[in-house]
Amino acid sequence: MSYMTNVTLEEVQHLATLSSLQLSDDEATSLSRDISNILDYINQLDELDTEGVEPTYQVTDLSNVWRDDVAVDSSVSREELLSLSKDQLDNQVKVPKVL
Amino acid sequence: MTINDILSSIEAGKMTARQAVEAALKKADETSEYAALLSLTSERALNRADEIDAKLEKGEDAGRLAGVPFVAKDNFLAFGAPTTAASKMLENFKAPLQATAVEKLEQAGAICIGKANLDAFAHGGSTENSAFGPTSNAHDKTRVAGGSSGGSAVATALDVVPFTLGSDTGGSIRQPASFNGVIGVKPTYGTVSRYGVVAMASSTDTVGCFAKSVDDAELVMEIMSGRDDKDMTTLGDVMDSAKAVKPVKKIGVISDFMNGDVDNEVLKITEAYVEKMKAAGYEVEPVSMPIIKHSLAMYYIIVPAEVSSNLARYDGVRYGHRAEGIKTLAELYGKSRDEGFVTENKRRIMIGSYVLSSGYFDAYYMKAQKARTKLIDKYKQLFESYDLLVSPTAPTPAFKLGATGDDPVQMYLADAMVVGPSLAGLPAISVPAGDTPDGLPVGVQLIGWRETDRSLFAVARKVEEVANDN
């Protein structure tokens, strides 16, 4: 079955922006084809009547599982965590300017 | 060798833990052309083996798996080698902690000797999406390993180690198990802690294992399972031997997966397995599950949505790949993610962004979550009359490397039979059922209701025993 979904290059670039992905033009073009094909496939769900059905987000019905409100020391030190970052200054992670 | 072979050799003084580890490392080296492993943790593994040997020499308890080597899929955080998730994003990531599953196995004396290949971030069904190249099938090097836990399945099949760890979000353990002729276990959602495992889709991610015998697989699951304060979705005692489990009498074969869409050899082997089930004394009959044909569409809406959220953390800032020559923070995010993710990661993230974006949220994401309720209700209804469901694990045996081309939907179809239990949180295992005339293994999937994991092992064991006796 085909619904012939067509996701334009402009829409792909919008999705890339929403996803914080800076795509090359070539990849954006091939992704517009891929995403159209995937949407074509998942659109088959329209055939299923879900009127009045409640959604399921969590399958084992657990909700709000709390631990005791007691501070627990991490096995990982601040220095170890900081060392994972590529650029640091004065015990902080350094990034380029925001604007 | 099985876990029990190694344990009894060590117990009898015929082998040390160091020798067990050395043998595994040697086997890993001899089979390196399959590219099942991304790294070895040799130095750490040998040191641990020496510690265990010292304990055993003193007559101390070194654990239920003392000296048994294993391999973890490279999305499990573990010491001794980088944790890459087979991605450029985490290529140099040295885990500052270990996954709870790995910790529990180590506490029981098992020794992690290396990390297995996967589709980058576990996105895929063939291990061809690894940023470091594909793994070959253990039975035919021109074919895929399956995926996403392809490296783990192949390392088990090649007998590098007696068991390996995998993660299964929508078939990533069961399908490669089928393709390589080993047992693959996806437990009830919440059975094993996911703490320290690279998150993919939190509502279906599970931790499981590959092994060559039912006993080994069950033992490993027993050791890994249990409540963990660091993963609040964990359940208490799914694999507890004291847990009462209703014995299996009636089994339903999912007829929707026994038709012309399925490879003929797969059908024949599945039918033969069903006959063995009957010979083992089970009452087996076909059941119809029309909604199952929509499960893949539900999966490829819900999972990308969760993927887009879980993978937002890879921004090049605190850890992982950071692009060079960048002027602004927005550019840092965009470029680091573009360079660090493979195309399939990007597809899923963007599909996720699409189905969650305003205007499409109700039509896709909410619709799929409602459909999921209907799917679960159907399973629930079937499990009122049947104790177990059976189907092939995959519609085909392992396909050729490169066969799905660059069409993502063709690749997704390989998951058609395995995503249902994932969406419903059900336990499902793939057991080897036979080989095609070309020598390619085919697995059969056993599915139970939640927390009946032990029943699946019991049935697989009984069918195996009865078949061996005949």
Tens digits of residue pLDDT in A33-54: 999 999 999 999 999 999 999 9
Beta carbon pairs, A and B, within 8 Å = 173
H-helix segments, B131-231 = 150-157, 174-180, 214-224
Q: Which of A43, A78, A95, A99 to mutate to test the interface with B (most CBs of B within 10 A)?
A: A95
Let me know if residue A33 belongs to a domain. Answer: yes
Let me know if residue A9 belongs to a domain. Answer: yes
- Our count of domains for chain A comes to 1
Cα-only R_g, chain A: 23
Let me know if residue A85 belongs to a domain. Answer: no
Q: Kindly provide the ipTM of the predicted complex, given to two decimals.
A: 0.95
Selected residues 414-453 of chain B with any CB under 8 Å from a CB in chain A? 423-425, 450
Classify residue B215 by burial, with Cβ atoms within 10 Å: 0-12, 13-18, 19+: middle
The fraction of chain A above a pLDDT of 90, given in percent, is 79
Using a CB–CB cutoff of 8 Å, tell me whether B403 touches chain A.
no
Q: Which residues of chain B neighbour A59 with C-beta distances below 8 Å?
A: 189, 203, 376, 423-425, 450
What is the average pLDDT value for chain A, to the nearest integer?
A: 92
Place of tokens 């869409």: B261
Cα end-to-end distance, chain A, whole Å: 47
pLDDT above 50 (res A2): no
Let me know if residue A27 belongs to a domain. Answer: yes
CATH number for A6: 1.10.20
Let me know if residue A60 belongs to a domain. Answer: no
Regarding the domain delimited by B3-224, which CATH topology (the fold level of the hierarchy) does it fall under? Amidase signature (AS) enzymes (3.90.1300)
pLDDT at B178 (0 to 100): 98
Other CB atoms closer than 10 Å to residue B14's CB: what's the count? 9
Report d(CA B85, CA B116) in Å as an integer.
9
For residues A37 and B332, the answer to whether their CB atoms sit within 8 Å is no
Flag residues of chain B having pLDDT under 70.
none
pLDDT at B291 (0 to 100): 98
Q: Could you tell me the residue range of the domain that residue A16 belongs to? A: 1-48
Let me know if residue A36 belongs to a domain. Answer: yes
Q: Where are the domains of chain B?
A: 3-224
pLDDT above 70 (res A3): no
Let me know if residue A19 belongs to a domain. Answer: yes
pLDDT at B237 (0 to 100): 85
Type of residue found at B467: A
Looking at residue B400, the DSSP 8-state letter turns out to be B
With cut-offs at 50, 70 and 90, classify the pLDDT of residue A99: confident
Let me know if residue A97 belongs to a domain. Answer: no
Q: Which residues of chain B neighbour A30 with C-beta distances below 8 Å?
A: 343, 406
Report d(CA B199, CA B123) in Å as an integer.
11
- Give the containing element (helix H, strand E) for B10: helix B3-11
